[in-house]
Amino acid sequence: MVQSYRHNEQKLSRVAVTIGDPAGIGPEIVVKAIHDLANAGDGWPLVIGDLRYLRSTARCIGIDLEFERDGDANSGEVPVVDLANLPEAIEIGVDAGPTGRASAEYIESAIKLWRAGRINALATAPISKKAIALGGYQYPGHTEFLAELTSAPRVAMTFFAGNLRVVLLSTHLPLKAAINLVNKENLVDLVLFADRELSRLLKMRPRIAMAGLNPHASEGGMFGNEEIEQIIPAIAECRERHSVDISGPYSPDTIFLRAYRGEFDAVIACYHDQATIPVKAISFGSSVNVTLGLPLIRTSVDHGTAFDIAGKGIADASSMVAAIRLAGELASV
C-alpha cells in the first residue's frame, strides 16, 4: 500500500529535481529525499528523470511513493517529467555513454522547463564528468553546462553550510595554478560579483570576510607577500570605491568558524580546498553547493556519484534533502 503523506503549503512546487547519473546514487537519494520532505509536510518538487527507473528504485529500497508522469503536485503522486531515456538494463557503478547522456538530458529538460516559466529553481543530483563525455557532452560539470544553457556570462561556485557561506575564487585546478589566480583584479571581480549575487539571493547586503592565502594571512609579510601586494589592495578598492562590506584578510584557520558562528555572512576562499575542507568538516552530508550567477536558483549536493555504494540502498540523502529545501527557500525569498 502506498503511504499517505500530509501536505502543507506547496513550498517546493516550483522546484525541479534532476536524478543525476542513474548508475550512481542519484536516483536513490532523490527518492529518499522526497520521502523525507513529504513526511515533513514540504510537498512535492517536480522530478526529472526516467519514470520506470524511479519506480524501480523506490521498490528496491522499500519506499512507498507513487510516481506519475507529469502528475499533479497537489495530489498524493510525485510529478515526474519522464524522458524515458534509459535502456532496460544499466550497469550500476560504471561510467557509460547511455547513462551519461541521460543525465545530461535531464539538465537540458530542466532548463526548458525554466524557460517555459514552469520552475524557478533547480536541485541537482550528482553526475559523472566521464560519463557525460562518453555520452557526447563535453563539459567539466554541472556549473559550466548550466552556464552555457542559460547564457550566463559569469558564474561562481559557493557552498552553504548553515550560517557558513563560502565563495570560491577557483575550483578544480592544480594548487600552483590556483595560487597564480590570487591577484587584485580577480579578487575585486569576484567580491563585486559575490556581493551582487548574494544580495539578490539573501535579500540583504552581506558582510563578507576575505580569507588570506598564506598561514595566518602571512602576518604582515612574514610568510608570503600575496596579502600585502594583492589581497589587501583588492579589499580596499571594494570598500572604498564600491561600498562593499568586506574586511580581512583573516587567518584561514579561524575565519570559517567565525563565519559559521554568525560573525560574517560569507567568506571569499582563495582556492578550492581552502573552502571545501571547513565546509565538509562542519557539515558534510548536509552542506549545499549553490551556483551564483545563473538566472535561476540552482543547488546541488556536496558529494559525487558514489559509484562504490550505488545500488546498495545505503546512500545518505541528507545533502539532497538540504539542496531541495534550500532551493525552495531561496526561490521564495
* Residue 300 CA to its chain's centroid (Å): 3
What's the CATH number of domain 1-152+294-333, 3.30.300.130, 3.40.718.10, 3.90.550.10, 2.40.50.140?
3.40.718.10
Is 107 exposed, middle or buried (CB count within 10 Å of its CB: 0-12, 13-18, 19+)?
Answer: buried
- Domain limits of the chain? 1-152+294-333, 154-291
What per-residue confidence (pLDDT) applies to 72? 55
Lookup result for grid cell 532551493: 327
What per-residue confidence (pLDDT) applies to 43? 81
| Per-residue burial over 24-41, b = 16 or more CB atoms within 10 Å of its CB, e = otherwise | bbbbbbbbbbbbbbbeee
Task: Tell me the one-letter amino acid at 73.
Answer: A
Average pLDDT by consecutive 10-residue portion of the chain (333 residues)? 42 90 97 92 90 95 89 70 93 96 97 95 96 92 92 94 94 93 98 97 95 92 92 98 97 96 97 94 87 96 93 95 94 77
Q: In terms of pTM, does the model score above 0.75?
A: yes
Reported in sequence order, the residue ranges of the chain that DSSP labels E, i.e. its strands, are 15-18, 46-49, 67-69, 78-82, 121-124, 156-161, 164-168, 208-211, 246-250, 266-269, 288-292, 297-300
What per-residue confidence (pLDDT) applies to 3? 43
Round to whole Å and give the CA distance between 218 and 227.
Answer: 7
Q: Which three cell numbers stand for residue 333?
A: 525569498
Level-2 CATH architecture, domain 154-291: 3-Layer(aba) Sandwich (3.40)
What per-residue confidence (pLDDT) applies to 150? 96
- For 123, how many CA atoms within 13 A lie in the half-sphere containing its CB? 34
CB atoms within 10 A of CB 2: 11
Round to whole Å and give the CA distance between 101 and 270.
Answer: 33
Round to whole Å and give the CA distance between 203 and 206.
Answer: 9
Name beta bridge partners: 76: none
Alpha-carbon distances, residue 330 vs 110, 121, 307, 309 (angstroms): 17, 8, 30, 31
Round to whole Å and give the CA distance between 260 and 50.
Answer: 38
